[in-house]
Amino acid sequence: MTYSDKFGLLPTIGKNIRSLRKKNEFTAQELAMLVGVSDRTIASIESGLRGTTIENYAKMADVFGVSIDELIGRTTRREALGLGEPAGSKQNKLRNICKSLTDEQAELVINFVNNLKTYTKEIEMNISKENNNNNNNNNTK
């Protein structure tokens, strides 16, 4: 299926997709697999030679953790509003780091995160108890 480019946007969209793909450390083959198209299709999209379905743009946006607007280059409103990084970007960074880990390293990271969550909960509980004790002391004065 051929997609019309009556506004001449395909080259810009293609550059944005390539930039997001590289920023998120995906190969064209990996992105193609995640979207469900061939790597030649990804190459054609990134080159601005063709478009794709809205469903495929949505899949790409989900993979990169951005909105479709951001995928196609409509970021000026987000930047103007000072909203910073798109939702999910920290998760994408973490996912990309984890992609390169060995199984042993991944296990260590999982254990570290679980321990961190437990430790954080304990600290929050201690702070809550301390605040309750302070409130009780203030009420008895």
Burial (Cβ within 10 Å: 0-12, 13-18, ≥19) of residue 136: exposed
- Amino acid identity of residue 27, one-letter, is T
Please report the sign of the dihedral spanned by the C-alpha atoms of residue 92, residue 77, residue 61, residue 47. negative
Mean pLDDT of the chain, nearest integer: 82
Q: Looking at residues 16-30, what average pLDDT do you find?
A: 92
Residue 133: phi, psi to the nearest 5? Answer: -65, -40
* pTM: predicted TM-score of the whole model, two decimal places: 0.54
| Cβ contact 52:45 at 8 Å | yes
Q: CA-to-CA distance for 41 and 37, rounded, in angstroms?
A: 6
When pLDDT is cut at 50, 70 and 90, the band that residue 88 belongs to is: low
Residues 6 or more apart whose Cβ sits within 8 Å of residue 91: 65
30-80: pLDDT as tens digits: 999 999 999 999 999 999 999 999 999 999 998 988 888 888 887 645 554
Mean pLDDT of 84-112: 75
The pLDDT of residue 105 is above 90: no
Amino acid at 85: E
**Gap between the Cα atoms of 12 and 75, Å rounded:** 13
Q: Quote the pLDDT of residue 55.
A: 94
